[in-house]
Amino acid sequence: MYVNKIIPAIQSRCTRFRFSPLETDQVQKRLNYVIANEGCKITPDGMTALLKLTRGDMRRALSVLQATHAAYSDEGDGRIDDEAVYNCTGNPRPADVRAMVQSMMKSEFTTAYNIFQAITWMYASSTTAGAQGHSGRHHQQRVICEWRR
């Protein structure tokens, strides 16, 4: 992932290892071990979201678990749920994606565009939103038109 940050002279003397993603049950087993030893609490929906979003990358799974625990463990009953995982990773919730696709397929253009724009901006960071500016909105409009065809 960060191979380009290593100078070529050192790269030429190294062997690159590429690891395939782990199976879901392998990741879940190790996460359960970490959760038990660290005193975290996670709901079944939270675990499902964590496994889905990390796609077999154990390093990412542990990072997301750590960040989510740090950010959301003091809220409510202290359990990490799917909403906390999606919020922490910045990924759209499945319900939001379904709503966006439904509006693109069934609503009039203006309604679909407004829903698409609201959901897109909800998940965009402020720097991304500012950098996209007008061209970002134009691109969103083109995407909706393509979906409608």
Domain ranges in the chain are 21-89, 94-148
* 21-89 is a CATH 1.10.8.60 domain: yes
Once rounded to an integer, what is the mean pLDDT over residues 123-133?
A: 49
pLDDT for position 142: 52
Residue 126: is its pLDDT beyond 50?
A: no
For 64-90, write each residue's pLDDT tens digit: 999 999 988 777 778 899 999 998 898
Long-range contacts of 8-17 (CB under 8 A, 24+ apart): none
Q: Model's pTM, two decimal places?
A: 0.69
How many CA atoms, within 13 angstroms, populate the side-chain half-sphere of residue 124?
17
In this structure, what are the phi and psi dihedrals at residue 74, rounded to the nearest 5 degrees? -85, -10
How would you label 43-69 residue by residue, b for 16+ Cβ within 10 Å and e otherwise?
A: beebbebbbebbeeeeebbbebbeebb
pLDDT for position 125: 52
